[in-house]
Chains A and B, each alone.
Chain A
């Protein structure tokens, strides 16, 4: 077989495939981008309402109200000696009428405990941690500040992973609401006020709220507080900033507005403690534990005929580092997509099940169609069109139409999202940052989307092959003048 025969055969194969998928591929991208646009509009509506009532919403009055509930801030930590003291000080200083901080040390091998003991004058306490949730890591001891009044509790345990560590924190929590926060996250001073307000508004029905997570890279942080919001220089980070704004803030706001929010980020989610205990807490075996938890809550509440709400708060509340290297980003995206697949598969019984209302009929099918399968279709479409174009099977008008619908429309949606975000919150005050964000919205389509799509497929494939899930290493850059912090990688994290 000559080269030209091979090319001709390949062309005929591609042509046959394109005859079948050309139309559906275009329709798919048209629908996915339009659905994103709809979510953006819903989010924009929500933001507009939010700002309209800002002058008289009385958020702080809500928390000071008789119906205001106390909050336990659970901080799982492993080898966080560089940031832990600053983080706990910042958490204790959060503006809120009634909150405690429970730090759960997941068997750190560095000086995390000594740092905390020295800074807060901790003394051991013969206090039990009730086993409301089954946990794996054996408890070592409990410490509290010597004054007995500072609302800080340190629980030490053997290393058993983040989810199990959080479950220990839930057990130790004494307030009715629980929020999980990583030690290296930076919270807005009013974060707890913002995120508890839905609970004060509707205390018998709201069971969980999520807050906006933003990328902290490049921002100026002093003593655990955000001082100036800036955009980091690496384009890899800038593109992730755009992603976070579009998907995490606007996307989830839209789902919340629609009444079918099924994902609350593990970096900042608040839950009723009793509901967490009822559903069994976080699943230590799940790699997408935050998604899995919210799905379990939905199923549990609906199966038990409970009237409930899961809400998303549009106010920026938490800032966290995003990966700065391709290696770490790849690992993160593989893990996320694997978690998405495993959770969707675990709860496949809810898919298109009318019993689960909007969650079962809209949100879960959306995640199957436009989150899980998207990377496969995106890559397949891209390769087919590119190959077909080279082989002369795909004509120029179709190729242009594909680019316009798949990438041009996506860029437009992103630009709309950025406009809504900027008009609503205006957190990036420097013009050059705004310019860089707009540029990142365009550059995202040139390699980044394709790469992340590939990594997501890798994660899915690893799960299908039954490979053991790995959390991977998140290399921290640290804040300000704090030394760079590289988090060792325990087996279970």
Chain B
């Protein structure tokens, strides 16, 4: 039944419907045939971007699907509410932001997740605060999956900065963790002061770890000393290791000495990560490895030799030499 219309749909999806004939043909489809074609349109809508996505959205609107989805947001069926939210996110309907917000506290987990996803897809930063609140526990279960919240916030752009700052001060460790991660992925430099505090004082190990990772990405010269401080033996092993890696991400030459000192640490994974960070710091870092590697057998030598061998296999040593 759908065979005659398949080529029109493919033309729209592939962006080859320049004259709009394919869309016109699909707009004119009678209801029974459209109902059968609709799942394919929805599936394609989730996969395409740009003009083809806009054209598919227009097609959905022409068939009244967007209006229908708005109505379904208050359906008694959780399946319908979730699907309606999903559809409104797919068509990126800005008018859906307000009606989607209450669904973030829906009793059904699927509805909450789809509402958060849709708000992220629409990308209106007005929804950032409510989406972040959705992360809080809901009757003992996670409100909205952390990854959905993180992706939604990232999709909302730079205007979520104030919300992130509020989130970093949240009492809920899951909220702080997501905000710390988003701050790193979205390069929110304004979050750095709070991240430094969280790294130093937070009671949750995951939050401290996320803060360290993010400082490695968005921090500056001044953060070298902070990260170095958290590689000291009094800190938890996991945090020391993450900070050693973050120093490599930060890429500041001020960390060379501290990383070189870690090569002889009793925590051998920490030594290995410090050596890897030195490799990533380029020729100066590699030079820090060469002297212990050439020296007498010992902990530092072992870490340095291992990192240099691996760097050699990866061709990083010649690159370093060329750069030097």
Contacts and interface: CB of A to CB of B under 8 A. Distances in A.
Do A and B originate from a single complex?
yes
A62 B147 contact: yes
Contacts of B269: 130, 132
Given A52-B79, A148-B314, A200-B145, A126 B267 contact: no
B182 A66 contact: yes
A430 B151 CA distance: 42
Given A127-B306, A148-B312, 8 more contacts: A66-B147, A66-B150, A123-B313, A126-B302, A144-B313, A147-B313, A148-B310, A274-B238
Contacts of B315: 148
Interface stretch (B50-58, B173-181, B248-256): B173-181
Contacts of B272: 127-128, 130
Contacts of A205: 142, 174
A225 B293 CA distance: 43
Contacts of B206: 203-204
B171 to A, nearest CB: 13
The 9 closest A-B pairs by CB, nearest first: A148-B313, A201-B145, A65-B147, A130-B269, A148-B314, A130-B268, A127-B306, A200-B147, A66-B185
A420 B170 CA distance: 42
Contacts of A147: 313-314
**Counting chain A CB atoms within 10 Å of each CB, which of B86, B110, B145, B237 scores highest?**
B145
A358 to B, nearest CB: 11
B204 A204 contact: yes
Contact of B181 (A53, A56, A62, A67): A67
Nearest to B175: A204
Q: What interface size band does chain B fall in?
A: 35 or more
A146 B312 CA distance: 10
A61 B145 contact: no
| Range of interface residues on A (Cβ < 8 Å) | 20 to 34
B10 interface: no
A53 B112 CA distance: 12
A56 B114 contact: yes
Interface in B22-47: none
Interface hub of A123, A146, A274 (most chain B Cβ within 10 A): A274
A58 interface: yes
Contact of A204 (B82, B173, B306, B312): B173
Contact of B146 (A53, A144, A149, A203): A203
B117 interface: yes
Contacts of A56: 82-83, 86, 114, 117
B303 interface: yes
A123 B146 CA distance: 40
B68 interface: no
A201 B205 CA distance: 18
A66 B82 CA distance: 24
A376 B182 CA distance: 56
